[in-house]
Amino acid sequence: MPILHAIVLGLVQGLSEFLPISSSAHLLFVPWLLGWDDFSGAGGESLKQSFDVALHLGTFVAVLGYFRKDVKSYVVEGTKLVFTRTKPVTTDGRLAWLFVLATIPAAAIGAIFEDQIGTALGSPLIIALSLIGFGILLGVADRAVGTRKVEDFRMPDSLKVGMAQALALNPGTSRSGITMTAARWIGFDRDAAVRISFVMSLPVIFGAVVFKMLKMFSEGGYEELLVPLAVGIVTSCISGLVAVWGTIKLVSTRNLMPFVIYRIAVGVLMLVILAFGWRENVAV
């Protein structure tokens, strides 16, 4: 795998993981558009999974670094809630377990239907339609007047946003996009929706990294990708930090409409490319 490809895909993963534009869609779209075929041949799927682990590890470090103070408080207070039965229950202790609860639907569905999702979804046509459809849904939800703050997050909210997050297993939906959409629908203000989405990503990304790393080590073959793996981790981490910081700054003064427009534009571009036969409707 050329180092340039590792850099580009690392940047794509870092930026698109936290922006509501779908990282999985872009990791399929960019190689498809540019005609890259780095993981063809024997063992290609295993190597692709290894590189995917590296990119997600980088973005996990990015969001963990940005929210390190919040995460420390969630871990400390959440642990106290279990082992010391601290009363009264603190807000951070309650939120910690609600965020974990919200990850269960996506984690369960992803683990059970991993192979089916990989084969049935992920074609350029489905990605294009998902980018457009869920982009419009995000735009509609973002027009709602929300006043609730992160501290108002309750168990029913956790279940609703968690079920919405499971839809992100479809490439093109966007994990951050669908969780922001759900949070806005149920009354959270824009800043709260973004922060809930980002913090919720930690257990999801961590679980995915651990699950895929175990699979990677058991299958082997990743040794030939050590340099691209390292490059992917670093670039996805740096670009992920930029994306988290930029999104939080953006929503403090503007709405999410720029992301909606971008999603629709990319989706339409993919449909045009397919219509003219410039690329086949086959996932990379």
Mean pLDDT score, 142-152: 88
Cβ neighbors of 40 (< 8 A, separation 6 or more) are none
Confidence band (pLDDT; 50, 70, 90) for 44?
low
- What is the distance between the terminal CA atoms of the chain, rounded to a whole angstrom? 14
Q: Would 270 be classed as within a structural domain?
A: yes
pLDDT of residue 146: 83
Residue 157 has pLDDT above 90, yes or no: yes
Token pair for 142? 């973002």
Task: Decide which of 108 and 189 is more confident.
Answer: 189
Token pair for 217? 């080590």
Token pair for 236? 């996805």
pLDDT of residue 51: 83
Q: Would 283 be classed as within a structural domain?
A: no
| Domain tally, the chain | 1
Q: Would 11 be classed as within a structural domain?
A: yes
Task: Decide which of 114 and 62 is more confident.
Answer: 62
Q: Would 282 be classed as within a structural domain?
A: no
Mean pLDDT score, 172-190: 91
Mean pLDDT score, 9-30: 88
Q: Would 280 be classed as within a structural domain?
A: no
Does this model's pTM top 0.75? My answer is yes
What digits encode the pLDDT tens for the residues 76-128? 888 887 777 666 678 888 899 999 898 888 878 877 776 666 666 778 899 99
What digits encode the pLDDT tens for the residues 207-255? 878 877 887 777 766 677 788 889 999 999 999 999 889 888 888 778 8
The domain containing residue 133 runs over which residues? 3-275
Largest CA distance in the chain: 64
* Average pLDDT score, the chain: 85
pLDDT of residue 158: 92
Q: By mean pLDDT, which of 25-34, 36-45, 156-165, 232-241 is the weakest?
A: 36-45
Q: Would 281 be classed as within a structural domain?
A: no
The DSSP symbol for 188 reads: B
Q: Would 45 be classed as within a structural domain?
A: yes
Residues in the chain: 284
pLDDT of residue 84: 74
Mean pLDDT score, 169-184: 90
Nearest to 19 by CA among 148, 130, 174, 123: 174
